[in-house]
Structure 1
Amino acid sequence: MQTEKVVNHIVNWLKEYATNANMDGFVVGISGGIDSAVTSALCAKTGLRTLCLEMPIHQAQSQVTRGQEHIAGLKTHYANVSDVKIDLTSVFEQFKREVPQTSDDTFLDLALANTRARLRMSTLYYFAGLHRYLVAGTGNKVEDFGVGFYTKYGDGGVDLSPIADLLKSEVYEIGRYLEVPVSILEAAPTDGLFGDSRTDEDQIGASYDELEWAMKMQGNGKNPTDFEGRKQAVFNTYLRLNKANQHKMNPIPVCNIPNSYKVL
């Protein structure tokens, strides 16, 4: 990958989009992970105002520390970067107290994890509305178009997606070029939505390198039966998630009413 050219292309694309939309800058949710670090750095390089928003909800201190280290670095290099921390823990806990209790907790953890992401989305759009900013998405190509590893109307609710055409390995390459903190580059990817130490690989059942391979094999017209052992298992995992999460990747289905039904 021609990293410098890719970086300049994304930065120019971001600036042109914001200018044409008559918006004043970007707001990015900072998680302490590589995707939000790269996205915020790219937004900062546009020279337009870039707000880095921390939104912890029972967040692990290691994630908070990494995010703050990254923000401090950005503010040192870019005068257009500012930051705000909104602790949403009490909001999340109040939500849990207000919703009806359930005797069947099969999907409770997942529902609450998605609620965290949606609270953050609402917060991002609050600040975007205040300042005429665009909400910059942090999803990469594997997450957004491969396995659908994001929350619908949570971290999937954005105005534009600057890194969604980049594989995870390419995001890391850009992160190294942009001098993202080593602590972020070396941290195991995690969505941090469950309040424990589980990583993305724990949840998905495959690493991003493996998922990239499976995505490439699907594009080459291969099938799981073409492989054995771990490769076959990974390919099956990828295809299962890709199929199950099409509802996130495709436009919302619209019930089209026959014209004859509308005529009196």
Structure 2
Amino acid sequence: MQVERVSESITKWLKDYAQNAGMKGYVVGISGGIDSAVTSTLCAATGLDTLCVEMPIHQHLDHVTRAQEHIKSLKARFNNVSDVRSDLTPVFDTFIKTMPDADPSPLKELTEGNTRARLRMTTLYYHGGMNSLLVAGTGNKVEDFGVGFYTKYGDGGVDVSPIADLLKSEVYKLGKYLSVQQSILKAAPSDGLYGAEKTDEEQIGATYDELEWAMEEIEKGKTAESFVGREKEVMHIYLSYNSRNQHKMNPIPLWEFPGNLR
């Protein structure tokens, strides 16, 4: 990948899009991970207003520390960057208290995790609306179009997706080029939707390198039955996520009015 040219191309695309939309710039949720670090740096490079938003909800300390380090670094490098911290822990706790009681279960944990993501989406759009900024998404190609590892109307609710055509490995290459801090480059990817550190690999059951491999093999026309051992297992993991998350990747189903019923 030609990282310099890719960086310049995305930056120009972001700048042109915001200006054509009559907006002042972008708002980005900062999680302490590589995707939000790269996205916010690209937004900052446009020279347009870039608002970095921290939105902790019972957040793991490592995430908070990395996010704050990144914001501090970005503000030192770009005079068009500002930041705000919206502590959503009380909002989340109050919301959960208004919901029916439920016994602890994987479904409860997943639902509450998705609720966190949707509260953050609402928060980003609030800050965006108040400052005439577009919401920049932070999803990469593996998450958005491979396994659907994001929350519908949560981190999937954005105005633009500047890195959604980059594989995770390409995001890391761009991050190195953009001088993203080592603590973020070395950190295990995590969606940060749970109080304790839970990595993406632990949730999915495969690494991003493995998922990228599976995507490439499927594009070549291979199936899970073409492999054995761990490779076959990874293919099954990828295909399972891809199949059940098609509702995230495809347009909302629309019932079409039959002409003979009008």
**Partner SS, residue 83 of structure 1:** strand
- 1:103 deviates by 4.8
Report what 1:251 is aligned to: 251
Alignment map for 1:97-246 (pairs within 5 Å):
97-103=97-103, 105-246=105-246
Identity %: 63
**Partner SS, residue 82 of structure 1:** strand
Find the aligned partners of 2:103 and 2:185 in 1 and give their Cα distance. 41
Find the aligned partners of 1:70 and 1:3 in 2 and give their Cα distance. 20
- 1:102 deviates by 2.7
**Partner SS, residue 26 of structure 1:** strand
- 1:178 deviates by 0.5
- Label 1:106 to 1:59 Cα distance change in 2 as closer, same or farther (>3 A): closer
**Partner SS, residue 23 of structure 2:** coil
**Partner SS, residue 56 of structure 2:** coil
**Partner SS, residue 52 of structure 2:** strand
Report what 2:32 is aligned to: 32
Find the aligned partners of 2:107 and 2:18 in 1 and give their Cα distance. 39
Find the aligned partners of 1:197 and 1:180 in 2 and give their Cα distance. 21
- 1:259 deviates by 2.1
Find the aligned partners of 2:12 and 2:57 in 1 and give their Cα distance. 33
Find the aligned partners of 1:179 and 1:191 in 2 and give their Cα distance. 22
TM-superposition CA deviations, 1:122-144 (whole Å, max 9, x none):
00000111111000000000000
- 1:104 deviates by 7.5
Find the aligned partners of 1:102 and 1:204 in 2 and give their Cα distance. 24
**Partner SS, residue 170 of structure 2:** helix
Find the aligned partners of 1:208 and 1:175 in 2 and give their Cα distance. 16
**Partner SS, residue 152 of structure 1:** coil
Q: Provide the alpha-carbon RMSD of the alignment.
A: 0.8
Between the two proteins, the alignment pairs up a number of residues equal to: 262
Where does the alignment leave 5 or more consecutive residues of structure 1 unmatched?
A: none
- 1:106 deviates by 4.7
Find the aligned partners of 1:195 and 1:114 in 2 and give their Cα distance. 13
**Partner SS, residue 210 of structure 1:** helix
Find the aligned partners of 1:67 and 1:106 in 2 and give their Cα distance. 28
Where does the alignment leave 5 or more consecutive residues of structure 2 unmatched?
A: none
Find the aligned partners of 2:102 and 2:92 in 1 and give their Cα distance. 17
Deviates more, 1:99-108 or 1:253-262: 99-108
Report what 1:15 is aligned to: 15
Report what 2:66 is aligned to: 66
| TM-score normalised by L of structure 2 | 0.99
Deviates more, 1:53-62 or 1:96-105: 96-105
Q: Which amino acid aligns with 2:152?
A: K
TM-superposition CA deviations, 1:193-235 (whole Å, max 9, x none):
1211210000000000000000000100001111110000001
Find the aligned partners of 2:260 and 2:104 in 1 and give their Cα distance. 45
Report what 2:54 is aligned to: 54
Find the aligned partners of 2:162 and 2:177 in 1 and give their Cα distance. 16
- Label 1:61 to 1:171 Cα distance change in 2 as closer, same or farther (>3 A): same
